[in-house]
Amino acid sequence: MANESQNSISTSDIVAALRQHGCDPQSDGDGYRAKCPCHDGKSNNSLAISADGKMYCHSCAANTGDVLKAIRLADDRPRQSRKPKVTIDGKPVTLNADEQSVIDGVTWSVFQKLGTEQWPSDRVRRYHDANGQHLATVLLWKFENGDKETRQIRRHEGGWISKGMVSPRPLYHLPDVMAASDIVICEGERSADALHDIGIMVMTPTQGAKSPKKSDWSVLDGKAVTISVYIDNAGREFGKVVFDLIRDIAVDVRVVELKDDWPELPEKGDAADWVEQFADVNSGELRKRFDALPDHREDIDAIVVKEKPRRQIDTSGLPKIELTLNEKRLMIE
C-alpha cells in the first residue's frame, strides 16, 4: 500500500517539494542530491534521490517513505494523483471526475510534447446527444506556424476520459436543431458555428469530411435536409457521401453551393467565409439568400466516390511472407 502510493509521485514533484522545504535539490548524475528534511544536518547533499524518485539519507538513513512524510507528499499527493482507471480497448485509461480535469491533462500533454509554455485550447466544441446530455468535447490548438492540434475527450460511465468519440457519433449542434423540420448539413464545425450564428438550423459530422460514416444520421428521419458543400472535389465528395447516407432517412434532400450566391468564394472557402464576407447584411436577409440557392443534387448524385485505397505498396519484387492466422488478426486489429 505504502509503496504503491509512493510510486505514484513523480520525481519532479518530489524535487519541487524538497525545494519548497528549503532542501535545495541539485541534479547529480541521473538523479539529485539535497539537504535531508529528516534530520537537522548541515550537509546539502546527504539525501540522494534516484531518477525514479527513490530516496536515501546517508546521514540518518531516512528512506523514501520517511522523506515523503517529512515533506508531506505521502499523505496528500497520492490521493490526488491516484485517479481510478477504466479499461478501454484492453488498455487502462485514467477516469477523471469531470470534463475540466481531462482538459487540463490533455492541455498539459499537448505542450509537454512541444516543450513550450502552454495556453488553453483556441476552440472548444461540445457534442451532445438528442436530449442535450454533453457527450464529448473537441479541443483545437492553432499555432503560429499554421499547425493545428486537435484532441477529443468524452464522457465515460462515472467521469470523463481522454479518448475520441465512439460511433455512431452525435452530430454537432444536435439538440439545438432537433425540433426543426428543415436542417442544413455543412462540412466542419467552423462553418456550422457561422451558419448557426445567423440562425440557420445546421449540424455537421465531427472531423468534417474525414469520417461522415461514423456519425449517427438516423436523427434526420423525416426531416428536409440541405447539404451545403465546398466547391472543391473533396467538398463535393463529402456532399455525395452524406447524400448517400441520408437519402433513405430524410424526406427531401437538396445540395447547395455558396458560390452561386457569391461567385468570388475562394476555392477552399466555406460557409464561415461567406458569413464573414456578408457580415454587414442582416441575418434574416442572409438566411433568405441561403434558402434561395439553386439545387445541385443531381450533379452531386452523379459523383462516384472511390473508396480511398489503403496505402498500396508494390510488392512484386519482394519475397513473399506468409502470415499465420494470428498474425493476420493482429494486423487487422
What is the contact surface with Zn ion in residues (CB under 5 A)? 36, 38-39, 57, 59-60, 62
Closest approach, Cβ 32 to Zn ion, in A, equals 14
Nearest of 215, 277, 227, 272 to residue 252 by alpha carbon: 227
Q: How far apart are the first and last CA of the chain?
A: 36
Shorter beta-carbon distance to Zn ion: residue 7 or 59 = 59
Task: Let me know if 322 is exposed, middle or buried by CB neighbors in 10 A (0-12, 13-18, 19+).
Answer: exposed
The answer to whether residues 218 and 225 touch, using CB atoms and an 8 Å cutoff, is no
Residue closer to Zn ion (CB basis): 35 or 151? 35
Count CB-CB contacts under 10 A for residue 293: 17
Q: Which is nearer to Zn ion, 57 or 161 (CB)?
A: 57
Which is nearer to Zn ion, 60 or 293 (by Cβ)?
60
Q: Which is nearer to Zn ion, 41 or 105 (CB)?
A: 41
Crossing angle of the two packed helices 73-81 and 11-20, in degrees rounded to 10:
140
Rank residues 59 and 150 by Cβ distance to Zn ion and give the closer one. Answer: 59
Nearer to Zn ion, 14 or 36 (CB): 36
Tell me the residue type at 158: G
Q: Which residues contact 185 (CB under 8 A, 6 or more apart)?
A: 171, 202, 203, 204, 205, 225, 226, 227, 228, 242, 246
Tell the smallest beta-carbon distance from residue 45 to Zn ion (Å). Answer: 11
Least distance (Å) between residue 20 CB and Zn ion: 18
Nearest approach in angstroms of CB 128 to Zn ion is: 56
Give the shortest CB-49-to-Zn ion separation in angstroms: 12
Name residue 127's beta-bridge partners.
136
Minimum CB separation of residue 50 from Zn ion in Å reads 16
58 C-beta neighbours (distance < 10 Å), count: 14
E strand residue ranges, 18-176: 26-28, 31-34, 47-49, 55-57, 85-88, 91-94, 123-128, 134-142, 148-156, 159-161
Q: How far is the CB of 89 from Zn ion (least distance, A)?
A: 46
